[in-house]
Structure 1
Amino acid sequence: MKLYYSPGACSLSPHIALLEAGLPYDLVKVDLKAKKLENGDDFLGINPKGQVPTLVLDSGEVVTEGPVIVQMIADKVSGKNLAPARDSAERYKLQEWLTYINSEVHKNFGPMFSPVLADDAKAFFKDRVMGKFKYLDGALAGNDYLMGKQFTVADGYLFTMLSWAERMKFDLAALPNLLAYKARVGARPAVQAALTKEGLMKAAA
């Protein structure tokens, strides 16, 4: 498999999932502005959407959209419990979390990366994301992970969003459950390995 990624982008989520799954993969870096690969090839020829993450399976099939990719990865190693069993009530709960992170958190972050959006508009979206984080802080009370005691692919996605919040200087001091959760997920070896491979964290000496 090949994961097309950009360092620290939302492709960090499936990168974490691949490492948690222990599946073999190749990393291919994408320049999202130029829509080019490091070797100069046109990324749009692989994914016409021009977005990461993009996963190319060994069969040549191209899979896009993060929440779909991470579930596919989880299903390849069902014994690792990165996602509940298909058709189970717990699986639909996982999909609920993935959808919430995707539509309510991720999509409200997008405008804050815009170089042309005014600061007051960015502040509006920041307030919206903070509201979502407050909800998540409450949902995490008494839980190690979004699904309870078991780490799932939804946690890799939320961790990615929390890393964006850190980059953008969000003040999460009033959200202790969320801060403890970020530290807990961030301490996982697979998460540290993904950050190191993407150049976001120095390798341990």
Structure 2
Amino acid sequence: MKNAPEYDPAHFFIKLVLFSNYPLRSWGFIPFIARKMTAVGGQVVACEPKRCVKMILFYMPGACSLSTHISLLETGEQFRLVKVNHKTLKTEHGENFLSISPDGRIPVLKLPTDDVITDCVGTLHYIADHFWQSGVSPAPDSAERARLNAFLTRIEHELHAQFSLLQQKRTTPDLRDAVITRLSDEFEKYEKLFSDGRHYLMGRQFSVADAYLLVAINWAGMIGINTFRWPHIGDFGDRMRGRTSVLAALRAEGLLVD
């Protein structure tokens, strides 16, 4: 499709199938939460539309924008969600998404100033820069923040970009097999990383990079890579899906059904 996003989530994501690769051992019940929401003090509360004027997140269910959605919830900042149809590239309000993001890329984070931040890593860097005191990122200009930046770059190039190759029409069976091998090799590296006992990529503290890695793990399940063959990665996935922000984002995007 001309001007379509580089990664088309429709090929991989349907509601319950998204988690067909994972046991539900760590999921807890939380009541239905309204689609426009914000996380406050570890709890998710409804956000009145008139108050959600700080930021607008344009997303497609299950796409890489899910990582931005999760990260925003973790900050406790107020924002509004706007769903984009991956086929028509129209927003849920009928607006032409190409007028907001000319190349159709998701996510887009629109600021109160009407400035627009595009791409997954771009929005995650913005969140890390401006809301680091909420705990989603180490302090700016610190060595730890440089490590976080390195993780974001690595996930973008070694995982996200590989999944994008699978969406191209010219992808042959041989190329698909090669991509799956490269992805498996990269997940092996994360398995080794988590083997030191860390709970999250940066140690014991959640960061925006964890939300990005979770999306890649979800995508892996959709192409037949069983990430639970790597026990530490499986534990990380369970730990992430136990977070209030993750459950709330999945519900809001229609990816988790009671």
Summarize the alignment of residues 57-136 of structure 1 with structure 2, pairs less than 5 Å apart: 57-114=111-168, 117-136=171-190
Equivalent position SS for 1:36: coil
| Residues in 1 aligned to 2:204 and 2:146: alpha-carbon distance in whole angstroms | 17
Partner of 1:190: 245
Match of 1:169 among 217, 220, 224: 224
| Residues in 2 aligned to 1:82 and 1:130: alpha-carbon distance in whole angstroms | 27
Equivalent position SS for 1:31: coil
Partner amino acid for 1:46?
Answer: I
Percent of aligned pairs with the same amino acid: 38
- On the 8 A contact 1:14/1:70 being kept in 2, the answer is yes
Which has the larger displacement, 170-179 or 156-165?
A: 170-179
Which has the larger displacement, 153-162 or 68-77?
A: 68-77
> TM-score of the superposition, structure 1-length normalised?
0.94
Task: Give the structure with the higher percent helix.
Answer: 1
- On the 8 A contact 2:58/2:109 being kept in 1, the answer is yes
| Residues in 2 aligned to 1:183 and 1:76: alpha-carbon distance in whole angstroms | 28
Gaps of 5+ in 1: none
Partner amino acid for 1:187?
Answer: G
Shift of residue 106, structure 1, vs aligned partner: 0.3
Gaps of 5+ in 2: 1-54
- On the 8 A contact 2:217/2:227 being kept in 1, the answer is no
| Residues in 2 aligned to 1:33 and 1:114: alpha-carbon distance in whole angstroms | 16
Partner amino acid for 2:193?
Answer: A
Which has the larger displacement, 62-71 or 145-154?
A: 62-71
Equivalent position SS for 2:84: strand
Which has the larger displacement, 34-43 or 145-154?
A: 34-43
Number of aligned pairs?
Answer: 203
Partner of 2:66: 12
| Residues in 1 aligned to 2:93 and 2:136: alpha-carbon distance in whole angstroms | 33
**Larger RCO: Structure 1 or Structure 2 (Cα < 8 Å, ≥ 6 residues apart)?**
2
Shift of residue 115, structure 1, vs aligned partner: 5.3
